[in-house]
Amino acid sequence: MKRQRVAFKVGLWVAGITGALHGIASMQPNPPAANDTEATLFKLVATTAIDFGAGGPRLTFEQILDGFSHSFTLMMAWVVALGVVALRAGGATLTAVARVNAAAFALLFAISALHFPPPPTVCIAVIVVAFGLASLGGE
């Protein structure tokens, strides 16, 4: 296999595994509260609703976080699906998709480094490097 295709596949595999693990983890029940303060915070997150106006629904913090979490999992699945199409097309399409993915995941890495725990941040860093290498071309 060529270097570009191998790097691209590594990016796809890591994105797929990251998305799958994130999806599985997000469906697990919340851990029990360690103390009264945590119990209060968990209750507030689950029950405090925000009115976004404009006739939209009132959503709790938990619903908002769940929505973002499911969006992350869906994004990873989309990256894999698009990547499979790009692999089949090869050539300039593969290079273009690799460049877009490298740029998008570089931005996601910046967000992740500030707001996510280490495991997904490390996975996203690997994805950036893999798609970055694949974007150099050389099929």
Q: Enter the tokens of residue 26.
A: 């997000």
Residue 2 contacts by C-beta under 8 Å, 6 or more apart in sequence? 138, 139
Q: Enter the tokens of residue 120.
A: 């997904």
Q: Residue 1: its pLDDT value, please?
A: 55
Q: Residue 16: its pLDDT value, please?
A: 97
Largest distance between two CA atoms of the chain = 58
Q: In this structure, what DSSP letter does residue 59 have?
A: E
Q: Are 20 and 26 in contact (CB under 8 A)?
A: no
Q: Residue 57: its pLDDT value, please?
A: 85
Closest Cα to residue 4, out of 76, 79, 102, 125? Answer: 102
In order along its 139 residues, the chain shows pLDDT tens digits of 589 999 999 999 999 999 999 999 999 998 899 999 999 999 999 999 988 877 778 899 999 999 999 999 999 999 999 999 999 999 999 999 999 999 999 999 999 999 999 999 999 999 999 999 999 977 5
Strands 49-51 and 58-60: antiparallel
pTM reported for the whole predicted model: 0.87
